[in-house]
Amino acid sequence: MAPEKITRTTNLRSDLALNDLDVVEFLLGLEDHYDTRVRFEDTFKPMTVGAVIDMIDKQLRSGK
């Protein structure tokens, strides 16, 4: 998918063809970049770009 076509509703697995390991690695990279933590059980939920943004935003606002 072309980067300019990615929106908040883009699904990491079905639209971007990421497998579970890809998603975990992606989230680990975000954890490192934003110095936060993603709950392990959240990594296996159906996930959209918007859900990831909201999850990281919530973590940053809560100070975790």
Where are the domains positioned within the chain?
A: 3-62
Instruction: Supply the pLDDT for residue 46.
Output: 80
The CATH topology of domain 3-62 is 1.10.1200
pLDDT reported for residue 6: 97
- Name the token pair of 38: 């993603």
How far is 18 from 36, CA to CA, in rounded Å? 22
**Could you give the 3-state DSSP secondary structure of residue 11?**
strand
- Kindly list the averaged pLDDT for each block of 10 residues, start to end, along the chain of length 64: 94 94 92 88 86 90 78
